Structure 1
Amino acid sequence: MKKLCIVVPCYNEEEALAYTNTELTGMLKKLTEKGKVKKDSFILYVDDGSRDHTWERIQGFRKEYECVFGLKLARNTGHQNALTAGLLTALDFADMMISIDADLQDDISVIEEMIDQFEQGNDIVYGVRNRRDTDTFFKKYTALGFYKLMQAMKIDIVYNHADYRLMSKRAVEQFSGYTERNLFLRGIIPLIGYRSAIVKYDRKSRIAGESKYSLNKMFSMAFEGITSFSIQPIRMITRLGLAIVVCSILAAVYAFISFITGKVVAGWTSIILSIWFIGGVQLLSVGLIGIYIGKIYIEVKHRPRYNIEINNLMEKPHEES
């Protein structure tokens, strides 16, 4: 029997937290009564610099529930950094960690199955959606397109998996060695290479509050994943540049033959379109290379990914039961 920590990153989730805490503490109690986890298993809420009363809610839960703890980051650092902060903080206190979003759209009833898979020797258990019935038409097909694009870019990623997963202590220890600042956990976790399993579930509708993943953030995450794990875009532009050079040579040969045969046709349209096209490709290429250079610039400075302001886990030691 192992000690479990449920890591819950939160950003402006004051409306949803009451329901979330009731459900998670209830689930933790059931798991304890069934002998699935140790009695001192706990929930760790990570406040990612929320601007509402999220931290006050977490502090209220801390006073009411012995199994609830909070981690407050000094400023908003983004979902991936907040989740990382929770996992690395819980590393010294738990044998396995489950990450789940605060809106609880991911079905917590499969947590027991995740633990069973862990007991069977799997260090990582991915929560994977059965279907996307709750998504809008646009979100459904853009998400499917995202996974297909990631696969085309040769990025190892679990299809229809977000950040709902169980990780063993040793898996999180290995993850702690991935120190890059451009975080994309869906791509990093499979790189660990330990034995893994999949648990499928149906995603539910959000109970309260609003989704923090706007269209802009979803596209940003997709672009972050592609540029952090693959140089395929640069290779594609190189191939495009080569194709344009070949076309230019063919056009030059055609122009020379036309000049020799006296079939020269004056016209500016084709010239202008060619200039615009090549100019656009050049700007796109320079911009993409600039993004990669910018990522290198961020990495080499080695700035902290987050700063912890308050850590409730340090209030008292967690003794092994």
Structure 2
Amino acid sequence: MNRLFCVIPCYNEQEVLPETSKRLEKKLKDLIAAGKISDDSRILFVNDGSKDNTWNIIKELHEKNEIFQGINLSKNMGHQNALLAGLMTAKDLCDAAISLDADLQDDINAIDGMVDKFIEGCDVVYGVRSKRATDTFFKKFTVESFYKLMNSMGANTVYNHADYRLMSRRALMSLAEFGEVNLFLRGIVPMVGFKSDVVYYERAERFAGESKYPLKKMLSFAVEGITSLSTKPIKLITGLGFFIFLVSIIVLVYSLVRHFTGQTIPGWTTTVLSVWAIGGLIMISLGVIGEYIGKIYLETKNRPRFIIESYVGDKEDVETSEYVYKR
């Protein structure tokens, strides 16, 4: 029977953890009773350097029930790195892992469909929102624009899918082969390949606490994803450069004709506008190229994407994990 791990990254989630743990525990017990997963399946919380009582709650949950395990990162590494830490720890311990957020916005009932599709032979099952009825117009517009922008820039993402997905052990092992320091899992996972499918669900309101992805962070996330997975922005800059060059030739011919026909008019306004426009484009172009150079700089350093300070769980699991420092 398949051993399932639910991997949940947590950053300052003390308000939602008691309810999240209760609902997930019931869901796993129902799946165990139905004979779909083994009774040694686990719920793995990853504490991403929380400043509140999150880690203490995780430890208390483990002490009360061995179904709960916990990873404590040495510092705040960011959502994507924390998620990867959980998945990479689980890959040697499970047959499949489901990643989801702690805020209960992801409908945990979709786990049943994911497990069913895994049993049918899928290695990757994406949780996809069926609609955005609970979103404001602004939120809906910005999020849909985010996905369209990502795909138009060459980042192959699944529309309306965040990080709610099931991955088989084989898929997790393949994911471990990707060594990027600049992580954008929504774009990397589709590169893994293997048989995949989707499960649709309705996303609920956050149970408690504040969103960890405000507009500013979403924009930063989009830039991270595009520049980590695609060189299309640089190609667009090249195309824009050729376009401006062609326009400059046309303007040059026009100016020479006006000059030799005695129709020269002082062009102070045109000159100023041209200087500012071209100067702005040059600065934008340098900024985009700088983003890529910065990422090359970070990749060449080959810094660890996460460092695990401690791990509470089954003794054999702790000993099996290659990422836990043994003192």
TM-score by length of 1: 0.97
Q: Deviations over 1:176-203 (max 9, x none)?
A: 0001001000100000110001000000
Q: Deviations over 1:66-110 (max 9, x none)?
A: 100100000111110000000000111111000000001010011
Q: Distance in 1 between matches of 2:89 and 2:151?
A: 32
Match of 1:38 in 2: 38
Alignment of 1:261 with 2:261, yes or no, is yes
Q: Distance in 2 between matches of 1:250 and 1:103?
A: 57
Q: Distance in 2 between matches of 1:284 and 1:259?
A: 33
Q: Distance in 1 between matches of 2:285 and 2:80?
A: 28
Match of 1:188 in 2: 188
Q: Distance in 2 between matches of 1:216 and 1:316?
A: 42
Match of 2:135 in 1: 135
Q: Distance in 1 between matches of 2:78 and 2:136?
A: 24
Alignment of 1:165 with 2:165, yes or no, is yes
Unpaired runs of 5+ residues, structure 2, are 320-327
Alignment of 1:16 with 2:39, yes or no, is no
Report how far residue 318 of structure 1 moved. 8.4
Report how far residue 313 of structure 1 moved. 3.3
Code of the residue aligned with 1:195 in structure 2: it is: K
Report how far residue 151 of structure 1 moved. 2.1
1:197 is paired with a residue whose SS is: strand
Q: Distance in 1 between matches of 2:94 and 2:154?
A: 34
Alignment of 1:116 with 2:116, yes or no, is yes
Q: Distance in 2 between matches of 1:104 and 1:5?
A: 17
Report how far residue 136 of structure 1 moved. 1.7
- Pairing of 1:53-64 with structure 2 (within 5 A): 53-64=53-64
- Pairing of 1:271-282 with structure 2 (within 5 A): 271-282=271-282
Q: Distance in 1 between matches of 2:296 and 2:318?
A: 39
Q: Distance in 2 between matches of 1:218 and 1:109?
A: 27
Match of 2:230 in 1: 230
Report how far residue 316 of structure 1 moved. 4.0
Identity of aligned residues (%): 52
Q: Distance in 2 between matches of 1:5 and 1:137?
A: 35
RMSD across aligned positions (CA): 1.2
Q: Deviations over 1:219-254 (max 9, x none)?
A: 111111111111111111111111111111111111
Code of the residue aligned with 2:267 in structure 1: it is: G
Distance 1:165 1:235, change over 3 A: same
Match of 1:86 in 2: 86
Code of the residue aligned with 2:45 in structure 1: it is: Y
Q: Contact (CA 8 Å) 1:40, 1:318: kept in 2 or not? A: no
Code of the residue aligned with 1:14 in structure 2: it is: Q
Q: Contact (CA 8 Å) 1:47, 1:54: kept in 2 or not? A: yes
Q: Deviations over 1:19-48 (max 9, x none)?
A: 100000111111111111100000000000
Match of 2:205 in 1: 205
Q: Contact (CA 8 Å) 2:124, 2:195: kept in 1 or not? A: yes
Code of the residue aligned with 2:272 in structure 1: it is: I
Moved more, 51-60 or 135-144: 135-144
Q: Contact (CA 8 Å) 2:66, 2:314: kept in 1 or not? A: no
2:126 is paired with a residue whose SS is: strand
Aligned residues, how many? 319
2:260 is paired with a residue whose SS is: helix
2:51 is paired with a residue whose SS is: coil
Distance 1:274 1:196, change over 3 A: same
Q: Distance in 1 between matches of 2:2 and 2:316?
A: 20
- Pairing of 1:211-222 with structure 2 (within 5 A): 211-222=211-222
TM-score by length of 2: 0.95
Code of the residue aligned with 2:70 in structure 1: it is: G
2:7 is paired with a residue whose SS is: strand
Q: Distance in 1 between matches of 2:229 and 2:317?
A: 39
